[in-house]
Structure 1
Amino acid sequence: MIDEAFYYLSDILSGIDTDHFFVENEVQGIKSNIEEITMETPVELDIINDGGVHIGLVSPLYRLEVTQMPVFHQCKITFQRNP
């Protein structure tokens, strides 16, 4: 079971709203066009009974010094806006 301190990658991806990559406020004269968002985060793999794998992101919310510290694999994801 995935650590409760991690978020599922699928939940994060479904929450990204590319419609807001372009923001315009005519009153204030502001235009913003986000071309790309990159995030790098530790990952945890959760292998489930049917052989599937859930990917969890974000390091645990707690930190406890132990003799053998865990190693987190890193994942870098880039989101690009398609015009």
Structure 2
Amino acid sequence: MNIKTVKKITIQAAFRKYPDLKAAIADHDKTIAEHFIKEKNVTSYLKAARLLQENVYATDPNYAKTLVSVIRQFDLAKYDLEAMNINK
């Protein structure tokens, strides 16, 4: 038997407010670099995905595998090259 019980909970959490999207993205990038990637100059999405998994960015045990799959499926690595000014 599969029974699903739903219970509403409230969690007190601190949220940041940013003046604009650029500031929010910059803070997110800083947080990822300081707490999850923890290495300088990581340019491989494979390595970045592995580090995110190892440093518990997500609770899904297949997070890195899923992330890499999505990057490959939609050819998103090409945007990394553009962002690093390698593919111009």
| Category of TM-score, reference length = shorter chain | under 0.3
When normalised by structure 2's length, the TM-score is 0.20
Higher helix residue share: 2
Higher relative contact order (CA 8 A, sep 6+): 1
When normalised by structure 1's length, the TM-score is 0.21
